[in-house]
Structures are given as C-alpha cells and as structure tokens.
Amino acid sequence: MNQSAATHDAAATSLQTQATRLLLDRGASDLPARPWLRQQQPPSAMDLIQHVLWRSRGQDNAPAPDTLDLRAALTLVSAARGEMDAVETALLFLARAEGLTWPHIAESLGLRSAQAAQQRLDRLADRPRTAATQ
C-alpha cells in the first residue's frame, strides 16, 4: 500500500471512529448488546445507521436526527458494507463446511450458476479488509 492510500485509510478510519462516538453519544449506546459481539464492543456500523433511521420515525420520543447524525450515518455506510462482506464470507465458508453444494449456494443467493457463487466468494475473500471489518 502506498503512502497516499495509507493516509486516506487512516483518515477514513478516524472519521468512522468519530461518527461512531457521535452516534453512541446520541442514544445508540442504549441499544441492547448483540449476543455475538464481545462485551463492551460497540454496535456495528449497520446497527448505528439503523438507529439513526429509527430515530427519524419518531420512535419512543427519541430526538429526530440532525445533520450531524445523518452525516455520521453516511460516514459509516462503507464500514457497514465491509461488515456485510465479512458476514457473507463467513456464511459462505460455513455453508461449504456444512456440506452445501455450490449449486445450492448459488440458488440461495439468487445467482445463475455454481461458478458465479464460487467467484463471489473469491471476490469477497480477496477484498482488502478495513479496520471496521477486522
């Protein structure tokens, strides 16, 4: 990785950390813990984004999100994509370990062929991991 890319990644990670802190301070810290997360681990980027959307619907007298909340949620979209990639990769490995065939996996994913499912896993596994997905 060149220095420019490393600098960009560090800046993106810093912005995501700031966005997470802001949303935790604005009520997301009260979200129930997910049993699959380590104790004291903050909610996922997807949960933080969902919390902003939930607040926008006026749930439980929660304050409506303002522009800072919305910008923070938007900042976390790439982290949420990375989380979903990691979840999908883990699920594909588990499916194969449990004996699902590539044709069954392809059908479940809505793909046209077993080869497409295999290529999807290859692409997911080859993507660089960000701080949010490690």
Mean pLDDT, rounded, for 89-106: 98
**CA 39, CA 19: separation in Å to the nearest integer?**
21
Mean pLDDT, rounded, for 121-128: 87
pLDDT, tens digit, for every residue of 12-35?
A: 899 999 999 999 999 999 999 899
Q: Are residues 84 and 68 in the same domain?
A: no
Q: Are residues 52 and 83 in the same domain?
A: no
Q: Are residues 65 and 82 in the same domain?
A: no
Q: Are residues 8 and 67 in the same domain?
A: yes
Q: Is 3 left (phi over 0), alpha (psi -120 to 50) or beta?
A: alpha
Q: Are residues 25 and 91 in the same domain?
A: no
Domain housing 119? 78-134
| Residue 130: predicted pLDDT | 53
Q: Are residues 50 and 102 in the same domain?
A: no
| Residue 55: predicted pLDDT | 94
Domain end point (choices 44, 75, 106): 75
pLDDT, tens digit, for every residue of 44-88?
A: 999 999 999 999 998 778 889 999 999 999 999 999 999 999 999
Domain end point (choices 55, 75, 95): 75
